[in-house]
Amino acid sequence: MKPYFARVLSIYMIAIAGCNSNHPEIVTGRIHPEQEWISNLIEANERTPLMRLAVPDTINKEKARLHSIDPIVQIGKIEEDSKLMFGYIEDLAVDKKNKRIFILDARYNEIRAFDYNGVFLFAVGGPGVAPGELQYPQAIDFDDKNNTLITLDRNRSVQIYSVSDTSIAYSSSFKVDFPPWDTCVMNGHVFARGYSEEVKSTVLKYRLDGTRVGSFGIYYDSENPFVRQTLSPRGQVVCNRESNTLLVSIDHIPVFFIYDEEGTDLRRIYLDAFDPIDIIEGVSPDGRPTLEYTAPKKGENILSRFFTHGSDFFVQYFTVEQKGGRHLFKFDPNAETGEYMGTLGEVTFDIDLTQGYLFAASNRPYPRVFVFDISI
Amino acid sequence: MTEKYRIHNILFSIFCILVLLLSFAVGFVANPFFLDTLTSRIGFLPNMLHSSTVNPAYYIPEYKAKHDVEILFVYIGSHSCKFSNDEDLPSLIEQAKLITQDLAREHKYEMSTLGAAIDWSVENGLRHLSKFGLFDEIISGRKWQNTAARLFIYENIPGAAATPQLVLVKRKFAPSSFGRQIVEEKLLVRKVGKDEIEDWLSIGAPIPGFTSDISVGSN
């Protein structure tokens, strides 16, 4: 019996070793994002210079005035005209030339346009899969040079609308090659943010007719494909139509990348002292790879939104369980340093520095958009 | 012999009564709405027990189809979803059902409820839905291929694929050769996640289209 038992045991041990060797890349308990990977990203080199952004040790309260201002207009009511009752505000786009705000509602699958005073102008979209309709709307952007409004759906479709002074009309649509998370439009091209394992890129560039003409973007480089394909797609892309550059972020990573339209890595921006939440790698009881997003702990930081005005980019983030609102920074990618702008309670979506407005939104306890006057 | 039979009959009657009481007790333990379901289904006393002037603490189906317009209340949850099993959720859903029922009555609309469980196992789905009181109709099984998910998430009225979720749909009916058919279906409210449901209830559960003459959506 003993030799038989030993044979069975050895076969069993080999089988276990074999199973383990199928997943050599999984390290149970490994915490993401890995600090070593972030350190490699921020190592300065001549080709991609680094800009550091940090909250000042002593905040000049006069300067950090955003903290105390009240909105001048609120778009969204608890109970009133249906067009003022939103389901969930997913994204905003601002037409700074014509002083219009396009609000993407992810529950009614609709884009509603308002002027800066909160007067309803027109709506487009509606739930469905037909051209011009929205199924799972995720992001919106407006190119004021071409009066082109685009929406991005989680079902991979991009809807393109042309906007006139008084109305909006569906123009065309196409499908992107991965489930996207964000989008922006610039100079007749749509940039979709996601992750393609095929071309190892986070941004795919398309012409308005849907032809893919490029791909670029640094991804979260983990040897575990599950981790790579889970963490790399999530992030934002913002087009700066003044400088023809793009900002690309990866959620929970305090380094952002500035690219030109062709995808050349121009500059990296680092949020100093940013402590991301822990995401833990592991294996489920049935042997599948897992990623556990831990509950945000006091002092940890979470990125909010990126947006742009003129040649500047803006970034907002908040600190868990810290009073005082979300920190807002402004930076010109071609300058040496950025500027700390103060804090704001709501999630900021866009800014119009020329006319002195800031646009924020909140979905709790009910969805609404706030317009702040920052011209003072 | 006669005396013996009489004793047997008495013992048998006591046994039957005990069995009946036991089955009621089991019914209550398994489902606190057992009596309502039973009385409504076998058709005795429901109107006396649940007069429309008395607002009960939980939703009770009317088992009628009498109006041309219906508010369909859809709860989509899952046995395997941590957030769907939040201990506060059943009372929030019950509260939402009752508020919707009041609104429907106020507008002389019909109200019906649909419970949908996004689970592979039909049994697990039913177990999950049993925590959420009474429904007029339930669909369980086939995970995201579930018929309710197809109707209210992917196809007829597309929206976020997440649980827990609450969807209110306004349906218009018209007579047809087989009784009546849906001629119009419109999304009234979609609330995804406990926070959205709780926030919506905290502000009085407003429903666009009920308080203004402008229609919801661009349709």
Per the CB < 8 Å rule, is B217 touching A127?
yes
Report the pLDDT averaged over residues B142-146.
96
Q: How many CB atoms lie within 10 A of CB A117?
A: 10
Phi, psi of A350 (to 5 degrees): -160, 165
Q: Are A280 and A287 in contact (CB under 8 A)?
A: no
CA distance B218 to A112: 10
Closest residue in B to A88 (Cα–Cα): B191
DSSP class of residue A134 equals B
Interface membership of A103 toward B (CB under 8 Å): no
| Mean model confidence pLDDT for chain A | 89
What does pTM read for this prediction?
0.83
Worst-scoring range by mean pLDDT, A294-308, B11-25, B98-112? Answer: B11-25
Q: Is A92 exposed, middle or buried (0-12, 13-18, 19+ CB in 10 A)?
A: buried
Q: Which of A230, A282, A286, A222 is nearest to A19 (CA)?
A: A286
Q: In the numeric block, which tokens belong to residue A257? A: 């990348």
Per DSSP, the residues of B121-174 read -HHHHHHHHGGG---SEEEE-SGGG-HHHIIIIISSS-----SSEEEEEEEEEE
pLDDT band at B190 (very low <50, low <70, confident <90, very high): very high
B-facing residues of A in 153-182 (CB < 8 A) are: none
ipTM of the complex: 0.81
Helix (H, G, I), strand (E, B) or coil at A25: coil
CA distance B191 to B206: 12
pLDDT band at A62 (very low <50, low <70, confident <90, very high): low
Say if strands A110-115 and A120-125 run parallel, antiparallel, or are unpaired. antiparallel
pLDDT digits (tens, 9 = 90+) for A256-292: 999 999 999 999 999 998 999 999 999 988 888 999 9
CA distance B188 to B159: 12
CA distance A368 to A70: 14
Rg, C-alpha atoms of chain B = 21
Distance from the Cα of A364 to chain B's closest Cα (Å) equals 7
pLDDT band at A8 (very low <50, low <70, confident <90, very high): low
The predicted structure's pLDDT at residue B31: 58
Closest residue in A to B209 (Cα–Cα): A82
Peptide bond into A33 cis (omega under 30): yes
Helix (H, G, I), strand (E, B) or coil at A168: strand
Long-range contacts of A79-83 (CB under 8 A, 24+ apart): A79/B204, A79/B206, A79/B211, A80/B211, A80/B212, A81/A120, A81/B212, A81/B214, A82/B208, A82/B209, A82/B212, A82/B214, A82/B215, A82/B216, A83/A112, A83/A120, A83/A123, A83/B214
Q: In the numeric block, which tokens belong to residue A297? A: 């702990």
Interface membership of B202 toward A (CB under 8 Å): yes
pLDDT score of A316 more than 50: yes
Residue A133: which H helix or E strand, with range? none
The predicted structure's pLDDT at residue A342: 85
Per the CB < 8 Å rule, is A107 touching B192?
yes
DSSP class of residue A276 equals B
Interface membership of A286 toward B (CB under 8 Å): no
Q: In the numeric block, which tokens belong to residue B173? A: 């009916």
pLDDT digits (tens, 9 = 90+) for B71-87: 999 999 999 999 999 99
Q: In the numeric block, which tokens belong to residue A103? A: 């609000």
